[in-house]
Chains A and B, each alone.
Chain A
Amino acid sequence: MTEPIWKLLPDVFYRPVQVVTRTWPDGLSESCLVTAEAYLAWLEEGNQPEPADEIKGE
């Protein structure tokens, strides 16, 4: 299974820290702090995360 790309999550009031997420083809999803081991290891391989979506008003 190809390793999916991490994506930054937008800043919101209930999330005081920067978080990234990714979802595997089988539906498994991961989200973690940008300081988490797994994400840092992925960055060290030269990868870059996708930018966060803009939050639109409702």
Chain B
Amino acid sequence: MALAQRVLGAPRLPWVFLTPNLVVFGIFTFLPIAIDVYYSLTGGAQLLPADRPFVGAQNFRELFECESYLDPTSCKRDLFWFGIYNTAEFVVLQVGLMVVFSLITALVLNRKIIGRSFFRAVFFYPVLLSPVVVALIWKWILQRQGLLNAALDGAGLSTVNWLLDAHWAFGWTVFVSIWAHMGFYTLILLAGLQAIPRDVYEAAEMDSASPWRVFRRITLPLLAPNLAVVVVLALIRAVQIFDEVYVLTGGGPGSATTFMVQYVFQTAFSQQVRQYGLAAAASLLLASVLFGLTLLQLRSMRSKDR
């Protein structure tokens, strides 16, 4: 480094410090985007781009080949469309419910309660668990002879094979991913709540405003920037749901819990014929959704800082 300083001179030195970082970004983030575009325009099962025949927009056309877009079974790549519909439904349910639960929990944790830091830790703990561990914890509870069925059985109710029923399995993927991630959003909202000045509430108390009114008129408006950040972050993550669901249900039963990322993964890596082109095309479509959401994120963060 001292040598570099002598050879290059101090003005160019910042670039030396930047080089390792930029090289890694270049090789594993920016270059891949270009290659991704190239893959999406070529066909065949070869991995080496030079060996792949150019097919133009064929991959995209194939993904969009449908008799009716409302009916995934009528599409040539039906799994892709199941993935889109499942992901859309998942995103709406998961983000909506999770933000509500996180907000309620943050409001509760912001009160004068006994054991506040303990309860905060309890809600946050699952965030740190790996998706595989999260999935196995719930798989063990939801299995046919698991704890949940034992409780139902004990209460005289009939048991359900939770992960083998399409509707229940989908519901559980939503629940489990909320369980695993809500602590993170609770924490951000709690930080936002704690930043609201106390005297605003004291003024409301003097006017003996009802709790609901205080929430509607004071808390919610002042928390809005944090809520926006939370919603956008949660959306970005929910669109990319894969890990815990893959271990919990494997995308099944049938295609009931197959989401976008799993479609990309399966198409490229876990089928007999590896369709890299199709997978790259699908991931570029996913990227365009994420691109829009990230622009939203940057905007919401800027408005929060203001």
Chain A bound to chain B: no
Which residues of B pack against A, CB within 8 Å? none
